[in-house]
Amino acid sequence: MRLVAVSKIENPQKYLSLRNDYKSHIIVQAIMTGGIVPDEVQKKLSEEGWTRTGYTLCFDCMKGRSDLIAKPPVGAFLEDIASFFGGEQAQHTFGCRAAQFAVMKTASEMTREDGESKFAPVVLADPLCHYTTALAAEAAGLQLTEPPHIGHPEYKVEAEGFRQKIEEIRRKTGKLPCLVMVTHVDPYHGNVGPAEKVGVIAEEYGVPYMINAAYTAGVMPVDMRDFKADFLTVSAHKSMASLGPLGFLVTRGEWVEKVFRCSKIVAEGTGRTWKNKILNVFGCSIGGVPLISSMYAFPYVIERVKKWKTELEKTQWFIQQIEKIEGVRLMGEKPHKHHLMHFETPVFWEISQHHKRKGFFLADEMISRGIVGLQRGLTKNIKLSLYGLGWDEVKRVRDSFYEVVDRYVKEFKLDYNVP
């Protein structure tokens, strides 16, 4: 039967011909720019042969846990990660989503503690949280509720909405939410959430507090102590110039032992135990090449965080330039405080109604100019990021948008003013 199944696979050699059509393009995809791996890191990964095996950092593992490996210095690296973000202990995880799940699982267990728990199985999250926050809560058996945002066009979230929701949850359940969480910068509009103010509220009520810093930790200064946060979740492949999947969970205080507790199960029959395996990260997160890439990139990340003001200057300049196109408007807060930008672009939508490629024309045009990352098929709204680009590249992106608008407004005789 196996031979029959294998015989059905036609031309497996086709996978050897895979090509990266965008290896020399400027990347403007907002989920990618903070994770672009420096050239020198890519070179060292190859030179040192780290890509030879998936368990590449495990040769000198003595205790069956990658976080305890001394050669390469994974343990020391995690100590530095914790310190860099203002925590006491860190673990690497299978992406930021796995870090969030570890926190949600811990919060869920807290609602079922012996005796009368003061916490309901409800997570209070901001209304612009990433979908993985909701799925992590669901997987941990928790409900999710949100305060409102102020709506179009800024979509800002006010801290007092969290206080009102906490009181609402207490009225309905007689208990407090088991976790409050804020997305430091949301993935839709690039708004900076009210993390500091909500931290004060969470501390006032005695509710555990998590910050999802997937879009910020590694590109801008982040210290969880400033937020009074108990947990900080990080995406290395999104914001720490690393290969993925890789994330970090950073915590402090009483939560170190709770979220990183080891397995207690005893196998009935053999009596086997796994007492050194951390339950909430599935025993060992392995790490492999992504973790090695993050270690190589860490000095680079430390230095680039110091240049955050320069990155903001590029972002704010680009917003001012692109809004010169009639009808184009930034969604989200102004002045903008993050590199993720979301624009309403009615002129591109109208062009798409005349263009044979419909909504795909814009991404096509940018790719033909050596720029990749706009979502294919979308023209009413676009998201992009210029993080890490030089000024020449930033101006090239601006000029490319201008060229596309100028060409098609004239070709289709549209009633728009162009720069």
Provide the pLDDT for residue 406: 98
Contact 281, 64 (CB under 8 A): no
Hey, what are 81's tokens? Answer: 């990660």
Interaxial angle between packed helices 361-368 and 391-411, expressed in degrees from 0 to 180 and rounded to the nearest 10: 130
Mean pLDDT of 177-189: 98
pLDDT at 6 over 70: no
pLDDT bracket for residue 5 (50, 70, 90): low
| Average pLDDT score over residue span 243-249 | 98
Q: Is the pLDDT of residue 153 over 70?
A: yes
Choose among 154, 150, 156, 124: nearest CA to 137: 124
What's this model's pTM, rounded to 2 decimal places? 0.95
Percent of the chain with pLDDT over 70: 98
Instruction: Note whether 347 and 358 are within 8 A (CB).
Output: no
Whether residue 45 has pLDDT greater than 60: yes
For 320, residues 6+ apart whose C-beta sits below 8 A from its C-beta are none
Neighbours of 113 (CB within 10 A): 10
279-308 tens-digit pLDDT: 999 999 999 999 999 999 999 999 999 999
Instruction: Write down the pLDDT at residue 241.
Output: 99
Query: Residue 169: pLDDT above 60?
Result: yes
**In the predicted model, what is the mean pLDDT of residues 219-242?**
99
Sheet containing 341-344: give its strands across.
Answer: 329-331, 341-344, 381-384
Q: What's residue 8's pLDDT? A: 83
Predicted pLDDT at 40: 98
Strand arrangement, sheet containing 143-145: 89-93, 247-251, 231-235, 209-212, 176-183, 119-125, 143-145
Average pLDDT (129-139) is 98
**Span 250-260, pLDDT tens digits:** 999 999 999 99
Residue ranges of domains in the chain, CATH in brackets? 45-304 (3.40.640.10), 308-411 (3.90.1150.10)
